[in-house]
Structure 1
Amino acid sequence: MQIPDKNQIFPLKDYKRLCFLKNIIENPNIIVGDYTYYDDFEDIYNFEKNVKYHFDFIGDKLIIGKFCMIASGVTFIMNGANHKMDGITAYPFNIFGKDWLKVTPTLDELPYKGDTIIGNDVWIGADVTIMPGVKIGDGSIIATKSIVTKDVNPYSVVGGNPAKLLRKRFDEEKIKKLLALKWWDWELEKITKNLHYLTGKKK
């Protein structure tokens, strides 16, 4: 049985704009599952550049599951972009030092939405923006150029600015069964033997 190598950077021969993403990630706070791919019109190494405001001292993580499909220009805004909003101004005087440093907020005073978590088998279209702390459920599809500001339930198709539910991919009973099935956690041999079932292609 021949199965693509999850540890290859470029799984497609002579095509260097698509990679198995986990193999190029350097930031320890970005965690990517096996076989998730990133396709970039210019350079696959743009991915980490598009994870914005991801500061080590904040400690938030970007966690992406297995078998996800991420298109060019997808941007993740992390918690470092947040400003305090309970004062008259949201301007971050403290970061510029000198006497302004006296109003330095502690980390627990800054808005914090938690880790950004992308489930398994999620398809994210080109130029999507995902805001801090968003959770996207397994099997979801995010339409091109959407801005995702809220959590997305499993097997949902969402789109727009802000992204809203367009439709469910399956009825609730089937979604429940699929979430229990967790095909992405099967042994690779079992996945390979059942591709006709997973893809809807007749034998």
Structure 2
Amino acid sequence: MSAHPLPRRFPAPDTRNPVLLPDGTPHEPTVFLQAVIEHPNIAVGRYAYYSPLSPVPDAAAELAPYLYPGCPERLVIGPFAQIAHRVRFITASANHPMGGLTTYPFRIFDMESVGPYLDENATIGDTVVGPDVWLGFNAMVMPGVTIGAGAIVAAGSVVAADVPPYAIVAGNPARFVRSRFPAEAVEALLALAWWDWPIEAIRAALPALEAADAEALARVAP
């Protein structure tokens, strides 16, 4: 028998507070985002979680404060994403108009005339966080950025450009530090896409996942 058996339970992806403390009480700040976000411009994958230091009344407004229903862009958060305290997504609609002689947003004070701003923001596109991405404490993601699967964004980073899968980035602006794995392992992991497997298959594959063994993971793929 393994010295470290699998947990006896794994919460459903729509569980509000999935972490139980040793005394059995839920850790209230940590939430599965599927349970707490209902926003027409935000898509959340299963088991993606947010863990601020204290509970927040509106996770969507906390994470993406400038994203409103009817904006031309979306925020897409992939499955198994891990989002720390004070992470912010500055989506396209936070932008001021930049095509003219002034950046003052005159038209937001008369929303019937705001169409040109919406058109400009629509060209920036969605902000996308891939599966199994870890966003560290106080990271900020700028408009239209795509963060690839398995990437790590260091605490305090400002991500202003796309991040490759399984890259580690840090700083302001965030710069490539290194890849977590060799290129051939990254290709294999992207092909396996373990985050799409049934949860029991993922749990059974934890020894391979935790050992960073892509070949072993391939052998237990469902």
* Structure 2, unaligned runs of 5 or more: 1-7, 214-222
Q: Which amino acid aligns with 2:57?
A: Y
Question: Where does residue 7 of structure 1 map in the other structure?
Answer: 14
Does the 8 Å contact 2:73/2:121 carry over to 1? no
1:112-123 equivalent positions in 2, closer than 5 A: 112-123=123-134
C-alpha distance in structure 1 between counterparts of 2:171 and 2:65, whole Å = 21
Cα distance in 2 for residues equivalent to 1:103 and 1:72: 33
Identity %: 42
Q: Deviations over 1:100-122 (max 9, x none)?
A: x9897363245631111100000
Match of 2:156 in 1: 145
- 1:188 aligned residue: 199
Secondary structure, aligned partner of 2:43: strand
Q: Distance in 2 between matches of 1:62 and 1:110?
A: 13
* Alpha-carbon distance in structure 1 between the residues aligned to 2:113 and 2:135: 42
Partner of 2:52: 40
Name the CA distance, whole Å, in 1 between partners of 2:49 and 2:163: 20
The equivalent residue for 1:176 is: 187
Give the match's secondary structure for 1:31: strand
Q: Cα gap change, 1:85/1:184 in structure 2, threshold over 3 Å: closer, same or farther?
A: same
Aligned to 1:73: 86
Unpaired runs of 5+ residues, structure 1, are: none
CA deviation string 1:114-141 (max 9, x = no partner): 1111000000001111111110000000
Q: SS at the partner of 1:105?
A: helix
Taking the aligned partners of 1:7 and 1:111, their CA distance within structure 2 comes to 31
Structure 1's 103 and 41: CA in aligned 2 closer, same or farther, altered over 3 A?
closer
RMSD (Å) for aligned C-alpha atoms: 2.2
Structure 1 residue matching 2:184: 3-state secondary structure: helix
Distance 1:75 1:103 in 2: 25
Task: Confirm whether residue 128 of structure 1 aligns to residue 120 of structure 2.
Answer: no
Write the distance in 2 (CA, Å) between the matches of 1:39 and 1:167.
26
Structure 1 window deviating more from structure 2 (133-142 vs 20-29): it is 20-29
Instruction: Using the TM superposition, give the Cα deviation of residue 94 of structure 1 relative to its aligned residue in structure 2, in angstroms.
Output: 2.6
Q: Distance in 1 between matches of 2:147 and 2:159?
A: 9
CA distance in 2, matches of 1:52, 1:103: 19
Give 1:142 deviation, angstroms: 0.3
Three-state SS of the structure 1 residue aligned to 2:50 is: strand
The answer to whether the 8 Å contact 1:10/1:20 transfers is yes
Letter in 2 for 1:23: A
Post-superposition Cα deviations, 1:51-107, rounded to whole Å, max 9, x if no partner, equal: 12113232311111111110011001111111222322111223334xxx9897363
Task: Show the 5 A alignment for 1:94-109.
Answer: 94-97=107-110, 105=116, 107-109=118-120
* Count of matched residue positions in the alignment of Structure 1 and Structure 2: 199
TM-score between the two structures when normalised by the length of structure 2 = 0.82
**1:6 is matched by which residue type in structure 2?**
P
Moved over 4 A (4+): 101-104
Q: Which has the higher contact order (CA 8 A, sep 6+)?
A: 1
In structure 2, C-alpha distance between the alignment counterparts of 1:168 and 1:107, rounded to whole Å: 36
